[in-house]
């Protein structure tokens, strides 16, 4: 099954209260899962990776074998493509988790987009943060 995974993460303050969001969509546009979760105090990059790990885990669970990951984090996309090294200790473990999960899916492609092209995942992050901070 082919699918697209839209991921986003954010924190209010860096580090600060953080959350991630992901939307897993089948090829025909059917939403297979959509989630926004808080992760405590973390950096934006940790939140971005947390979204990727959670989304890849879900994609593997539902039997996706071809996945396009869409993220507005250029850092995450370039690190997952192998274009940038992962130097930050906090990100190294998340990177390894994401890489292990990606190997459960036959093909994974990473695409960087501007924030306005990732609205649903972005709104899930903000809703989770609003719930946590209100």
Q: What is the CATH number of the domain that holds 15?
A: 3.30.420.10
Mean pLDDT for the stretch of residues 51-57: 98
Number of domains comprising the chain? 1
The string of pLDDT tens digits covering residues 94-132 is 999 999 999 999 999 999 999 888 999 999 999 999 998
Nearby residues of 18 by Cβ (< 8 Å), 6 or more positions away: 9, 10, 11, 12, 38, 39, 40, 41, 42, 43, 44, 46, 47, 50, 129
Q: Which domain range does residue 16 map to?
A: 2-133
In this prediction the pTM is 0.96
What is the CB-side half-sphere exposure of residue 120 using CA atoms within 13 A?
12
């Amino acid at each position: 099954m082919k699918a697209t995974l839209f991921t986003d993460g954010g924190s209010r303050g860096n580090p600060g209260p953080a959350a991630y969001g992901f939307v897993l969509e089948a090829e025909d546009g059917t939403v297979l899962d959509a989630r926004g979760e808080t992760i405590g105090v973390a950096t934006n990059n940790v939140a971005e990776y947390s979204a990727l790990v959670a989304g890849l885990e879900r994609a593997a669970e539902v039997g996706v074998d071809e996945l396009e990951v869409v993220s507005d984090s250029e850092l995450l996309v370039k690190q997952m493509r192998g274009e940038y090294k992962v130097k930050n200790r906090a990100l190294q473990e998340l990177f390894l988790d994401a890489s292990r999960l990606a190997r459960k899916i036959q093909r994974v492609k990473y695409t960087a987009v501007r924030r306005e092209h990732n609205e649903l995942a972005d709104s899930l992050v903000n809703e989770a943060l609003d719930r946590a901070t209100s």
